[in-house]
Amino acid sequence: MKKNLILLYALVCSQYLFSQKQSQTINQQRNVGSLNGNEEAHQIDAILSKYHQYDLFNGSVLVAKKGKEILKKSYGKASFSWDINNTPSTKFRIGSLTKQFTALLILQLKQEGKLKLEDKIRDHLPWYYAATGNKLTIHHLLSMTSGLPNYTDGINSQMEREELKPKGFALKYFKDTLLFEPGKDVRYCNTGYYILGLIIESVTKKPYELVLKERVFNVLGMNNSGIENPNQIVPNLAEGYTFGIGEYNVPHSMNMKTLTFSAGAIYSTVEDLFLWDKSFYSDVLLSAENKKLMHTKYLPNYGYGVVVNSIKNYLGLNKNITVISHDGGIGGFSSYMLRIPEDNIFIVLLDNTRAGARGGELAAISKNIVPVLFGAKAELPKPSAFIELSKKIKSKSLDEGIAYFKSAIEVDRTAYSFIGLENDLSGISSIYQSNGDLISAIKILKLNADEFPNSASAFFNLGEAYYVNQQFDLALQQYKKTLEIDPTNEEAKKMLLKIRK
């Protein structure tokens, strides 16, 4: 989701940010935090420092084992414009990590006998659409098996700035249709978790924000967590950034409370999220029975607000582990949280440069960290092929950037990371297309098709660009190639018919 701060918001925030800058008399070095004198901490810090060096991580991390912090540290800036460092107490938007909090609140109400997982939507929201509201259960919503269309797939600037109440937003933007029969398939769906927040409000007769505060934040002492309200100044909240063509950009503003609500509106810190993790080793929030429901794998590995994976013989150590995790991303922020209950391991990464959308997936960073906690050697990260390409384009030109990619990066593939490259190249092409530069967009999409010759979407996107540029013969070739790779692509079939007419 791409967003630009509105002028009024920037002016109001600037006064606060200036005072923050003045108050920083210590911790002005690039990396801020504690290593606790632990060898594991030094190894993890070396990994994260490399990620930061390669522009793949900018934020805060907390790593714990058996309930004790191993590493709590921050990298880079909370504000680039005001040169303010991230710290472990910096607040970040956590996006879809919000879903596990929503799931827990539902299970608390179930635990208290105030609802059942078999209840239908309209049992609690009688105003909701009849066709889906009388069919879908709370379990379907929690487990991502509802079949509801994901409302954020069609997000636009009007949705981002809506000032409707959540009920009004749902009635305006949610559809009374299903993509598949409930319970028969799984598809990630923000819509379901938004509806769950409405059910929480209906059952408790209180705003979701207040229920969350009373039942979780106050109980655990999560004093630096909350829901961001429109036009609110949140002290110590980092600014979010996106990575464009070789540089960071400030995204558009959005009404977090309305747009994402119970599916993604929480802000928090690594310290507060450690308190959240600790609660799962007690019954302070939820009984053992309901925690088990939350962490059960449904279709195929989504629990309630979390992903659950079982790994046998991890790293050849003859050890079986369970990885309970989730990621999030919203408005210039990325987040990732992982728990391994067998060893009481916890990792949380909060980033304010939307790292997960530009090749530096936070899950991949976590995957590099976990082996250290089991005494295994972890590899240091590699620079991102996409970021090196985009920097060259920014400093030189598009043609020189592509030439550099083919002459240097492509021929030395072992020296670079190609994670997320296909999506990143498509993203660059979208920027060019939005600026009316179809020629440059086509050059990037040709590179993408060359780099991913077995990707139907790479050729389809190239065909679309040729078509818009009225190069119909070339568009036809790309649609044919799309169907060679994926004969079921209905859009490519339609475009072939359209061109041949």
Query: Would you say residue 19 has pLDDT above 50?
Result: no
Residue 276's contacts (CB-CB under 8 Å, 6 or more residues apart) are 101, 216, 220, 222, 268
Residues above pLDDT 90, as percent of the chain: 80
What pLDDT is recorded for position 154?
84
| CA 398 to chain centroid | 29
**pLDDT over 50 (residue 408):** yes
Which has the minimum average pLDDT: 80-89, 398-407, 423-432?
423-432
What pLDDT is stored for residue 360 in this prediction? Answer: 60
Nearest-CA neighbor of 1 among 360, 269, 260, 386?
260
User: Mean pLDDT across the stretch 450-471?
Assistant: 96
Strand partners, 122: none
Helices marked H in 24-160 — which ranges?
39-53, 98-111, 121-124, 130-133, 138-142, 157-160
Place of tokens 């139907």: 456
Rounded distance between C-alpha atoms, residue 474 and residue 481, angstroms: 11
Given a cut of 70, whether residue 169 has pLDDT beyond it is: yes
Q: Helix 490-500 crosses helix 456-468 at what angle (to 10 degrees)? A: 30
Least confident range from 46-50, 423-427, 443-447, 474-478: namely 423-427
- Calculate mean pLDDT across residues 404-418: 92
Written as one letter, the residue type at 190 is: N
- What is the C-alpha to C-alpha distance for residues 394 and 383, in angstroms, rounded to an integer? 17
Give the pLDDT confidence score for residue 501 in this predicted structure: 77
* Calpha distance 450→427 (Å, rounded): 16
Q: Please determine, for residue 16, whether its predicted confidence score (pLDDT) is greater than 50.
A: no
Average pLDDT, the chain: 91
How many angstroms separate the CA atoms of 300 and 14, rounded? Answer: 46
State residue 346's pLDDT score. 98
Tokens at 122, concatenated: 């309209």
Of 32-36, 95-99, 148-152, minimum mean pLDDT range: 32-36
Reference 203, options 291, 304, 116; nearest CA is 116
Nearest-angstrom CA–CA distance, 196 and 175:
16
What share of residues in the chain are helix, strand, coil (percent, to 5)? 50, 15, 35
CATH of domain 385-500: 1.25.40.10
Best CA proximity match to 152, nearest among 225, 258, 237:
258
Q: Please, what's the largest Cα pairwise distance for the chain? A: 71
Q: Nearest-CA neighbor of 98 among 192, 9, 179?
A: 192
Ranges 266-270, 346-350, 379-383, 402-406: which has the least confidence: 379-383
Q: CA distances (Å), 275 to each of 225, 271, 279, 280, in order?
A: 11, 7, 6, 9
Residue 252: the pLDDT is: 81
CA-closest candidate to residue 58, choices 76, 73, 46, 33: 76
Angle formed by the axes of helices 438-451 and 456-468, nearest 10°: 160
- Provide the pLDDT for residue 36: 59
For the whole prediction, is pTM greater than 0.75?
A: yes
* pLDDT tens-place string over residues 307-325: 999 999 999 989 999 999 9
Torsion over CA of 174, 180, 183 and 189, rounded to 10 degrees?
-40
pLDDT digits (tens, 9 = 90+) for 263-285: 999 999 999 999 999 999 999 99
Q: Where are the domains of the chain?
A: 7-94+268-373, 98-211, 385-500
Q: State the burial class of residue 457 (Cβ atoms within 10 Å of its Cβ: 0-12, 13-18, 19+).
A: middle
User: Do 286 and 37 form a contact (C-beta atoms < 8 A)?
Assistant: no
Residues in the chain: 501
Query: Tens of pLDDT along 51-67?
Result: 999 999 999 999 999 99
CB-count burial class (<10 Å; 0-12, 13-18, 19+) for 410: middle
CA triplet 115, 116, 117: central angle to 5 degrees? 130
Give the per-residue pLDDT at 244. Answer: 82
pLDDT (mean) for 447-460: 97
Q: What letter does residue 229 receive in the DSSP assignment?
A: P
Q: Which residue has the tokens 């249709």?
A: 177
Average of per-residue pLDDT across 330-356: 94
Task: Please state, in angstroms and rounded to a whole number, the distance separating the CA atoms of residues 223 and 229.
Answer: 16
Pick from 199-203, 297-301, 377-381, 497-501 the range whose average pLDDT is largest: 199-203
Taking alpha carbons only, the member of 180, 274, 171, 161 closest to residue 221 is 274
pLDDT band at 245 (very low <50, low <70, confident <90, very high): confident
The answer to whether domain 98-211 and domain 385-500 are alike in fold is no
Average of per-residue pLDDT across 208-228: 97
> In the predicted model, is pLDDT for residue 239 greater than 90?
yes
203 near 109, Cβ under 8 Å? yes
Torsional sign, CA 281, 284, 288, 290: negative
Residue 25, pLDDT > 70, answer: no
CATH superfamily name and code, 98-211: DD-peptidase/beta-lactamase superfamily (3.40.710.10)
Q: Is 93:422 a contact under the CB 8 Å cutoff?
A: no
What pLDDT does residue 27 have? 41
Instruction: Give the residue from 26, 94, 51 showing the smallest Cα distance to 381.
Output: 51
- For the segment 65-82, the average pLDDT, to the nearest whole number, is 96
Model confidence over 363-395: pLDDT tens digits? 989 999 999 999 998 888 999 999 999 999 999
Q: What is the mean pLDDT of residues 353-360?
A: 71
- Long-range contacts (CB closer than 8 Å, 24 or more residues apart) made by 47-50: 47/365, 47/368, 47/369, 47/372, 47/378, 47/380, 47/381, 48/73, 48/75, 48/365, 48/369, 49/75, 50/380, 50/381
| 453-457, long-range: CB < 8 A, 24+ apart | 454/485, 455/422, 455/485, 456/482, 456/483, 456/485, 456/486, 456/489, 456/492, 457/422, 457/426, 457/482
